[in-house]
Amino acid sequence: MRTIVLAAPAKINLSLDVVKRLSTGYHEMDMLMQEIELADQIRLEYRKQGIHLTCNIPELPVDDKNIVVRAAKALLPYGKKEKGVAIYLEKKIPHGAGLGGGSADAAAVLKGLNELWELNLSQQQLLRIGVAIGADVPFCIFGGTARAKGIGERLRRIPDQPSQPILLINPGIHVSTREVFEALDADGAISHPKTDLAIRAWEDQDFEALKKSAGNRLREVTVTWHPEIREIEEKLIQAGAVFAMMSGSGPTVFGIYRTEEARDRAYDQLKEQYPVVIRSKTARREDFHVED
């Protein structure tokens, strides 16, 4: 019985701009997205029929309410062979944290089943299938570092940079991405992140320039509801981070450090103050691969 094991890496938003609200109800985005080493693990075992999901987190649904099951079902019309799969999901990425954990899992399932079921779909085909499942799924298929525009489906590769140590802090609150977008005045007169300059700053590893150019439009809503996010950003900077920002719609905040030693000192300072404090690194595309 063939088995494939994959990592499903989380993401952070180095910059996130909401350009405008579209007539479809979606929002036009412009984001600088970065894969990180923190990852869930997914094991896929071939079955002749049926899609069965089990997870190490009992409270997560294992039916169509789970994006992993929806991703697997999206591939059923492709190929000619009778096919099914048993999916074992080990969650390490905090759920609902602004780190794209569900999207990462869906992307890993799409890539893994393309291999397991011998569908021979191109990356472009997987991206088109992915965006119908979730806006972050295409980037999670793409991996590495990328600029994401449109609703997340228009991706441009940004060259990999040296891995940077990061510290992730989640204050243990739940934030609904849908509610954040609904509360955002997407078309209001407000300054936007300068994504072109943020990309250049990231490529130059110029964190002072990154501070001046990057931003997160969703932060203006989430921080209003949860002021502790601003406090976490400040504490990360005080603890030596060269850059700190909320990821996605929150509530997780990340801090980037020059060295692992500096990050580990910050970890020791902050680990008792919040329920979730995780050490990780930015990742490059070749850091993850499919294992048989």
Q: Which of 92, 91, 86, 129 is nearest to 107 (CA)?
A: 129
Asked whether the beta carbons of 282 and 33 are under 8 A apart, the reply is: no
11 catalytic per annotation = yes
Amino acid at 219: R
Which of 17, 30, 105, 136 is catalytic? The answer is 136
Chain-centroid distance, C-alpha 46? 27
For residue 282, what is the DSSP state?
B
Which of 11, 111, 235, 281 is catalytic? The answer is 11
Half-sphere CA count of 38, side-chain side, radius 13 A: 25
281's tokens: 């690194």
136 catalytic per annotation = yes
- Alpha-carbon distance of 162 to 156, in angstroms, equals 19
Cis peptide before 171 (omega within 30 of 0): no
17's tokens: 């701009």
Active site residues: 11, 136
